[in-house]
Amino acid sequence: MSSDGASTSGHTLAVVCLGESMAVLLPDPPGPFEAVDTFRVAFGGAESNVACGLAALGVTSAWISRVGDDGLGRRLTAEIAARGVDVSAVTTDPLRRTGLYLKETGTSSSRLHYYRAGSAASALGRELLDDPAVLQLLDGARVLHLSGITPALSDSCLDLVRALLARRRPGLLISFDLNWRPALWLDRDPAVLPALLDAADLLFLGADEAETAFGTGDPAALRRMFPSPATIVVKDSGHRVTALDEDGTAVTEPALTVEVVEPTGAGDAFAAGYLAGTVRGLDQRSRLRLGHLSAAAALTTHGDHATPAPDPVINALLAASAADWAATRVTALGIDSPALPAVAAR
């Protein structure tokens, strides 16, 4: 796949992602905290994960946020930049720390323990839109990607999200992933969320999280609940994803068969793949397939970040028949598919 950026779109950048990233401590080796002696340091954050996933797919991306004036903030910013993401509008708060979370890993699920209250990013607010570096990125981008994590962080973050949705301009697609995080809403009111989601152009919802947050995971019911976005994408984890357009068209694509190593970040990787397909002008089915392929790579690695399959493998699978797609199997070792001449290394 060719790289997408100024040369093909006329924009300076394809996708801008805005939200908090944190240092992550991962038990090494993986296991419950009762037994852990050593933690490995990594970084994570839904929106920067999407930016990194896009860069890995050759799509120009930027991440906007704030970190503390501390080693973890400098390190995570440098690591995100090293993945090819523009961090020119990431600022440092001299008074507040970079957020942190611990990830307790299991074989099929992981639990995140947040230490982020009062973090540098949680103090972001609408004054961010006075920063010329931020405006330059927002005005040059084709897509702005946000998530439901940011309005959960603080009133000022909620206000920032409202301001971003209000300053929309023609030609900018606003993408919003629900990213339902109940632990962040314990002392806040999630009733603010539906209006934010309905103000987006492209909405990503997990069926399970939508069921918890809004009482239904049914794609048609969610389409009725959120009538304004041009497209809503409803992910039913390992089963299928359905994209419903405003003209009533619905396209469903089954998930790949994946031997899951660690699930965190699969939703972000899916969004990155789908957005990459969107900026490349792929049809709906191919966008969904690129989302599934990107998610499968994240599911078969530890940590939130994964290397996507090589371009020829991705292209062959985007073009595969429904039967070959259904027979494709992804493990940590590679991709086995009748659409490929041999098992492709991951």
Ligand X SMILES: O=C(O)C(=O)C[C@H](O)[C@H](O)CO
Ligand Y SMILES: Nc1ncnc2c1ncn2[C@@H]1O[C@H](COP(=O)(O)OP(=O)(O)OP(=O)(O)O)[C@@H](O)[C@H]1O
- Residues with a known catalytic role: 268
Structure tokens at 198: 């309905």
> Binding string to ligand Y for residues 290 to 329, with x set by CB under 6 A, is what?
-xx--xx--x------------------------------
Task: Fill in the DSSP letter of residue 215.
Answer: S
In this structure, the strands spanning 202-206 and 240-245 are unpaired
Taking the least distance from each CB to ligand X, the nearer of 113 and 224 is 113
For position 42 contacting ligand Y by CB under 6 A, the verdict is no
Taking the least distance from each CB to ligand Y, the nearer of 74 and 240 is 240
Separation in Å, CA 221 to CA 163, 167, 217, 224, 226: 28, 29, 8, 5, 9
Residue with tokens 């001449």, as numbered in its chain = 341
For position 66 contacting ligand Y by CB under 6 A, the verdict is no
Q: Which of the choices ligand Y, ligand X, none does residue 295 contact, using the CB cut-off of 5 to 8 A by kind?
A: ligand Y
> Binding string to ligand Y for residues 131 to 150, with x set by CB under 6 A, is what?
--------------------
Taking the least distance from each CB to ligand X, the nearer of 79 and 268 is 268
CB of 161 to ligand X, least distance (A): 14
Q: How many helices (H) and strands (E) does the chain have?
A: 13, 18
CB of 299 to ligand Y, least distance (A): 6
Q: Which of the choices ligand Y, ligand X, none does residue 97 contact, using the CB cut-off of 5 to 8 A by kind?
A: none
Residue with tokens 């699978």, as numbered in its chain = 317
CB of 276 to ligand Y, least distance (A): 14
Taking the least distance from each CB to ligand X, the nearer of 160 and 339 is 160
Structure tokens at 89: 């509008």
Q: Which of the choices ligand X, ligand Y, none does residue 251 contact, using the CB cut-off of 5 to 8 A by kind?
A: none
The C-alpha atoms of residue 144 and residue 293 are separated, in whole angstroms, by 22
| Contact footprint for ligand X (CB under 6 A) | 44-46, 49, 112, 149, 181, 264-265, 267-268, 304
Could you say which residues in the range 154-183 bind ligand Y, by CB under 6 A? Answer: 179
CB of 100 to ligand Y, least distance (A): 17
Which residue minimizes CB distance to ligand X?
44
Helix axis angle, 46-56 to 71-82, nearest 10°: 30
Residue 265 · residue 301 · CB < 8 Å: no
Helix (H) or strand (E) holding 25: strand 22-27
Structure tokens at 21: 């990233």
Separation in Å, CA 67 to CA 34, 39, 82, 111, 154: 30, 21, 17, 23, 15
Taking the least distance from each CB to ligand X, the nearer of 112 and 225 is 112
Taking the least distance from each CB to ligand Y, the nearer of 291 and 308 is 291
Q: Which of the choices ligand Y, ligand X, none does residue 206 contact, using the CB cut-off of 5 to 8 A by kind?
A: ligand Y
CB of 99 to ligand X, least distance (A): 8
Residues 6+ apart with CB under 8 A from 54: 14, 15, 17, 60, 61, 85, 272, 275, 276
Determine whether 10 is exposed, middle or buried from the number of CB atoms within 10 Å of its CB (0-12, 13-18, 19+).
Answer: exposed
Q: Which stretch binds ligand Y (CB under 6 A): 20-28, 86-94, 118-126, 266-274?
A: 266-274
> Binding string to ligand Y for residues 179 to 218, with x set by CB under 6 A, is what?
x--------------------------x------------
Partners of 308 in the beta sheet?
none
User: Which chain residues interact with ligand Y by CB under 6 A?
Assistant: 179, 206, 235, 237-238, 241, 255-256, 258, 260, 264-268, 270, 291-292, 295-296, 299
